[in-house]
Every structure is written in C-alpha cells, then in structure tokens.
Amino acid sequence: EFAAAARVAEPYCDAIDLNLGCPQRTAYLGHFGSYLLEDKDRQLVCSIVKAGAKAVQIPIFCKIRLLDRLEDTIRLCEELRDAGASLIAVHG
C-alpha cells in the first residue's frame, strides 16, 4: 500500500520518505520502523521500495539506523539502492 500512498502524495511533494529508523517501543509492537531492518524482513522492505519507485516519478528516500556491523549496514544500503531508493539517510 506504500505505492498507492506515494501516488496520492506525489503531486504535493518533491520526494517520498520511508522511515525505517524509528526505534520506539510502538514501532517494535507494530513491527515497523527500525524493526524492519533485520535480514528476515529485507525482501519485504526492498519490495516496498521497489513498488514505490515504480509507482511515482519523484525520488524515494529511506531513513535507516546503523546495524550492528558496518558491513551489514553497507549491504542494506546497496540493497535499498538496487530496489530504487534515490537517497538513504543513516542515523548513527
């Protein structure tokens, strides 16, 4: 449904931001935000980004948090880029 929401918002903004950086308890309980950054959810997250990028003509941005290992963070960024993310912001 991210793609549908992006299409609705597109005429009113310059980019769409997918916030994968929220570490709050409510994000944990709802399984969103930074709790989607684990390997088990990677295919889901990349499919969301890919669908959004296909649905609109404006950039898709992703906000993430650093993972435990730098190599894992780099791999995540590469996967998001390959899925269609135009910009990735990283919380330290």
Catalytic residues, which ones?
Answer: 22
Q: Which of 29, 1, 30 is nearest to 18 (CA)?
A: 1
Q: First CA to last CA across the chain, in angstroms?
A: 29
The CA distance from 53 to 11, in Å, is: 15
